[in-house]
Amino acid sequence: MALADLLGILFGPRLRLPRDHITRPSRRANKAAKASIDAMQAALDKISALPGIADIKQTKRLPRGFSEAVQELRTAYDEYFETVRKFLPGGLEAKRPGEPGGCGACYAAVMPVMAWEAIDLYREVRPWRDFPKLAQRLAAQGEQQIKDIQALHTGKDPERMRMAGKAVQQGRVDYAKRMQACPFLDEAKQRCRVWDKRPVACRMHLPVVDEATTRPDHAGWPKAVKAHNVRMPVRQQVTIRQLEKRLALELNPFMAASLLQLAQLLEGQAMPEVGEAPQRMQQDGQVTQRANRNVKHAKKFQKGKSQKGKGPKGRKK
């Protein structure tokens, strides 16, 4: 590396996307959110202590209680977010990505997505009827993201790139300028389809400017976007890094790529927890849906009709 390049990396201007800016909550905010912080740590400790948590890559099954513990973690983080939000300038009026009036941020690639999030998100979307089409969109977007980043990479090994390096950051900007919506955004309804399961990278982001400014096709994007990013406290971030190492899945930090990696690892199958019945797959790759037994043509209603006009022992009158 040339000296000029090194100096540019160390002291030159850094290109940051709206989700990259760090918001440091005040002491008052952290004190008010202490119960939520403790609950987050308890949920992380619970996930880390699950038997077989480090063997998921080999067994392709999740430990019993994984989804429940992940939901506890999300609930605790949401409570932490809402508490801290009250202490942020303009925080209560701002719209979040994935809700009407805040979907401008849904046109930039979501990252980083952690392994435990990708697993739970994959479990959510794999049974969808339109999953094959969704997988195609994820593949197309993941491939485009890689192309936009690698086009700027000057190193010998295209697989070894610093996530904070210029190639990755500028590649993220170039991709966002293409205005490809997140695959989980229902553009007609302006609503996130995985709202309850969306990653922390989406949950933490709180733009405090007009929605038009948050769209990558805006002339001032990304520098014109003012936003708060309520990340997990440092202790919880450290625990998550340790958990990521234990999982050893080595997933891509971009959401589209990480979900496809899980689909490849599982050969397109679902990822059940221990104790859950395996989901049956159809020939077209879709998960067999459970029959709705409350429709008019269900067998239980037909059985009742067949008994009409018969005597006590089933003989016709």
Of the listed ranges 207-221, 238-252, 287-301, the one predicted with least confidence = 287-301
Summarize the confidence of residues 38-51 as an average pLDDT. 98
The pLDDT of residue 167? 86
Residue 301 has pLDDT above 90, yes or no: no
Residue 219 has pLDDT above 80, yes or no: yes
Rounded to whole angstroms, the Cα distance separating 302 from 305 reads: 5
Amino acid at residue number 183: P
Residue 183 has pLDDT above 60, yes or no: yes
The pLDDT of residue 240? 97
Q: 81-85, 109-113, 221-225, 266-270: which has the highest mean pLDDT?
A: 81-85
CB 173 within 8 Å of CB 149: no
Strands 205-207 and 191-192, bridge-based pairing: unpaired
Of the listed ranges 43-47, 103-107, 152-156, 273-277, the one predicted with least confidence = 152-156
Beta bridge partners of 62: 273
Q: Average per-residue pLDDT in the chain?
A: 87
> Which residue's structure tokens are 């063997």?
55
The pLDDT of residue 261? 96
Rounded to whole angstroms, the Cα distance separating 286 from 284 reads: 6
The pLDDT of residue 282? 63
Residue 179 has pLDDT above 90, yes or no: yes
The pLDDT of residue 266? 94
Amino acid at residue number 87: F
The pLDDT of residue 10? 43
CB 151 within 8 Å of CB 303: no
pTM of the model: 0.83
The pLDDT of residue 176? 95
CA-atom Rg of the chain in angstroms: 24
Residue 17 has pLDDT above 80, yes or no: yes
The pLDDT of residue 4? 44
Beta bridge partners of 231: none
DSSP letter assigned to residue 280: P
- For residue range 56-94, list pLDDT tens digits in order: 999 999 999 999 999 999 999 999 999 999 999 999 999
